[in-house]
């Protein structure tokens, strides 16, 4: 089934990634008419501002090093976050440009010395927000200046308080005696969807720019290279987990995801100022209020391990 990019971006797991609720087959969202796609439930409303918040924290952290410079590159970072209808129209425009189903990494990272070139290039095309609507053959001068491309993920967890945090791996029967954790273990993981592995791999090969996956938690972040993530899967150190996702329109799909233990990752950043949770709401045309919460503020400091990774390219 081909899903409209609006639906795909806002799809949420019907069961939490890290904490599986046994016996729950499907979550039925309360009917709440907001636009033609009938966006339902606060989980959908939190989905995109949470991702944008994570991307901004990473961009700020990279740029504060003064050694490197990051910009948003994928479509989600430039999408509107305050207006549901504007968000949908943004993805309509993306689809009309023929780029709605193309998978791009979320960020591009450059050497700090290339900042003036990057700023001049993005200014000439109308700003960073126009990048998602321009085909990559027209962006090669920019792409080839990048040292790294980043796929961003985030989780609504305080990593250090997760039950299996700081617990060592042990031999697992399901892994043929290889080191790992039980399926029910709750610990920080970096998540990659199976459906993203092929398009991300193609982007990396086509552009000859390495991709890393950076996963932001409430108070810290971890990173892993796309190549290393693939190696762990190929060697069956990480097995797929089947997850049910539900789109705003109500459609459910089964997708395989990979959850990489943070033990395999490098420490990317630690919050020197934690975000706060603030109340927010949207109102439909009939005056119906749907409240939700979102993250605001907070800062990450890039760790030496991550600086070493960036310096290696």
pLDDT digits (tens, 9 = 90+) for 150-161: 999 998 899 999
Domain that holds residue 183: 5-311
Give the residue carrying structure tokens 């976050």: 81
Q: What is the tally of structural domains in the chain?
A: 1
- Average pLDDT, integer, range 248-267: 85
* DSSP count for the chain of H helices, then E strands: 9, 15
- Average pLDDT, integer, range 54-61: 94
Evaluate whether 200 touches 226 at the Cβ level (below 8 Å): yes
Rounded to the nearest integer, the mean pLDDT of the chain is 83
Burial class (CB in 10 A: 0-12, 13-18, 19+), 54: buried
What is the C-alpha to C-alpha distance for residues 256 and 240, in angstroms, rounded to an integer?
6
Confidence class for position 177, pLDDT limits 50, 70, 90: very high
- Average pLDDT, integer, range 18-34: 40
Confidence class for position 304, pLDDT limits 50, 70, 90: very high
Regarding pTM above 0.85, the answer is no
The torsion angle over the Cα atoms of residues 79, 303, 262 and 25, rounded to 10 degrees, is -20
Tens digit of pLDDT for each residue in 69-97?
999 998 765 666 666 667 777 777 777 76
Return the closest-CA partner of residue 58 out of 45, 69, 48, 42. 69
Give the pLDDT score at 75.
78
Per DSSP bridges, beta strands 148-154 and 211-216 are: parallel
Give the pLDDT score at 279.
86
């Amino acid at each position: 089934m081909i899903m409209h990019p609006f639906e795909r971006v806002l799809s949420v797991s019907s069961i939490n990634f890290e904490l599986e609720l046994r016996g729950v087959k499907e979550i039925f969202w309360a009917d709440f008419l907001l636009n033609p796609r009938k966006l339902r439930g606060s989980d959908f409303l939190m989905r995109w501002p949470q991702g944008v918040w994570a991307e901004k924290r990473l961009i700020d952290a990279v740029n504060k090093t003064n050694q490197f410079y990051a910009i948003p590159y994928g479509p989600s970072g430039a999408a509107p976050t305050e207006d549901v209808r504007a968000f949908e129209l943004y993805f309509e425009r993306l689809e009309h440009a023929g780029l709605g189903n193309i998978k791009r990494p979320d960020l591009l990272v450059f050497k700090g010395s290339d900042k003036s070139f990057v700023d001049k290039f993005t200014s000439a095309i109308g700003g960073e927000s126009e990048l998602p609507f321009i085909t990559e053959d027209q962006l090669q001068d920019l792409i080839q200046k990048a040292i790294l491309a980043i796929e961003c993920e985030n989780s609504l967890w305080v990593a250090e308080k997760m039950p299996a945090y700081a617990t060592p791996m042990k031999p697992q029967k399901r892994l043929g005696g290889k080191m790992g954790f039980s399926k029910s273990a709750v610990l920080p993981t970096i998540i990659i969807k199976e459906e993203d592995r092929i398009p991300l791999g193609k982007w990396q090969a086509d552009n000859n720019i390495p991709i890393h996956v950076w996963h932001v938690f409430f108070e810290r972040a971890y990173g892993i290279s796309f190549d290393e993530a693939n190696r762990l899967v190929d060697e069956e150190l990480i097995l797929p987990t089947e997850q049910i996702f539900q789109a705003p329109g109500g459609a459910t799909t089964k997708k395989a995801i990979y959850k990489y233990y943070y033990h395999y990752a490098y420490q990317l950043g630690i919050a020197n100022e934690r975000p706060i949770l603030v109340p927010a709401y949207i109102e439909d045309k009939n005056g119906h209020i749907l409240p939700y919460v979102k993250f605001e503020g907070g800062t990450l400091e890039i760790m030496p391990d991550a600086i070493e990774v960036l310096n290696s390219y």
